[in-house]
Amino acid sequence: MSELLEIERRLEARERLSGDQALWLYANAPSGWLRERADGIRRDRHGDRAFYNRNIHFEPTNKCVYACRFCAFARRADQGPDEGAWDHDADEFDRILLAKPTGSITEVHITGGVHPDRGVDYGEELCRQVLRRHPAAHVKAFTAVEISFFARKSGLSLEESLRRLQAAGLGSLPGGGAEIFDPEVRRKIAGGKAPAHQWLEVHETAHRLGLRSNATMLYGHVEEHRHRVDHMERLRDLQDRTGGFMSFIPLRYRNENNALSHLREVTPEEDLRNYAVARLFLDNIPHLKAYWVMLGVPLASEALDWGVDDLDGTVDDSTRIYSMAGAEEKRPALTSAELQEIIRGRGRIPVERDSLYEAVG
């Protein structure tokens, strides 16, 4: 086990793991060892704190120009409600926002399908609408794929598009749309979707403008461990340049109602090992999030022992992206008290955070 001893030495010396070492960990590291080492790094970074926030998700539309094979959410622009399509108008968004008392939420998370008729002006209006109803809320909105399309539709550069969205109230970017960066895997699962270099360019541009963002990785479909390591290495390289990523969120592929439904989902043990490897390898991204909506509460809670320090937020039954694909939580909503209880149940101290990971209260 000379390789494990060398990895131990590097971790003790706070030296960076190589891609080959991360690949070795996926294939060979004992699960107990992975859990212990990842949990140790989490503890060194965050002590016994585990984070959550008070957020809602809004998905304006699921009409999309792309037809990703892993996606159960998207519909064509010509489909209607009887085929599972929606396109919420401003009044519907207002009803959602006004249902929340002032001060009850700190973040509005907006992502959706890439609608063929929507440009930067549409994104600007969504940001302004949030702040008209909840002036103190943080707007975390639009995947890099959405922003890239907004820019093309409006005939603007990425920088100009992001500046306009920022001026309208955009506070940070979610991490969606990253999927897997490897071009061959991306072609198999995401067809004509914006390539990896565009996703990375959007986030690098956002970081340069002072916007923070998050990063995801969709795993457990046709990719191999080497593709996961390549994906994380590209994120790590960008983080070295900009320091703009706040959290990394591994997202498990769910296999209901999509073109890849013949694939078996990964086991819970693989989920947990994936979190641990990510925590060991991504030495420059501060937070590791287990998205409870996708994993289900029991497994997300267990992930707190595998390097994870964040569970996302209350969500409040306002996302359908994962429930449509067979996620454990069909009506995802937790109260702050419930999140605190989950965190305390793992022996951690619950800390409510804002969207930029500053403690609230």
- Tens of pLDDT along the chain (361 residues) come to 689 999 999 999 999 999 999 999 999 999 999 999 999 999 999 999 999 999 999 999 989 888 777 777 778 878 888 988 889 999 999 999 999 999 999 999 999 888 999 999 999 999 999 999 999 999 999 999 999 999 999 999 999 999 999 999 999 999 999 999 999 999 999 877 888 999 999 999 999 999 999 999 999 999 999 999 999 999 999 999 999 999 999 999 988 777 778 889 999 999 999 999 999 999 999 999 999 998 999 999 999 999 999 999 999 765 555 455 444 545 678 999 999 999 999 999 999 999 999 999 7
Q: Which bin fits 157, alpha (ψ -120 to 50), beta or left (φ > 0)?
A: beta
pLDDT for 326 equals 46
Q: Reduced to 3 states, what is the DSSP secondary structure of residue 268?
A: helix
Do residues 134 and 106 lie in contact, with contact meaning Cβ atoms separated by under 8 Å?
A: no
Neighbouring residues of 152: CB distance < 8 A, sequence distance ≥ 6: none
Neighbouring residues of 13: CB distance < 8 A, sequence distance ≥ 6: none
The sign of the CA dihedral 6, 10, 12, 16 is: negative
Provide the CA 195 distance to its chain's centre, in angstroms.
17
Cite the DSSP H helix spans in 155-260.
158-168, 183-190, 196-208, 225-242
Give the residue extent of every domain in the chain: 2-352
Other beta carbons within 10 Å of 163? 17
Tokens of 203: 């986030």
Do residues 150 and 168 lie in contact, with contact meaning Cβ atoms separated by under 8 Å?
A: no
Report the distance separating Cα 31 and Cα 36, nearest Å: 9
pLDDT for 79 equals 87
Residue 338 half-sphere exposure toward CB, CA atoms < 13 A: 13
Tokens of 162: 């992001």
pLDDT for 209 equals 98
Report the distance separating Cα 70 and Cα 68, nearest Å: 6
**170-173 and 212-219 beta bridge pairing:** parallel
Fold of 2-352: TIM Barrel (3.20.20)
> Of 322, 328, 317, nearest to 72 (Cα)?
322
Cα three-residue angle 197-41-310, rounded to 5 degrees: 65
Helix, strand, coil abundance in the chain, percent, nearest 5: 45, 15, 40
Residue type for 295, please? L
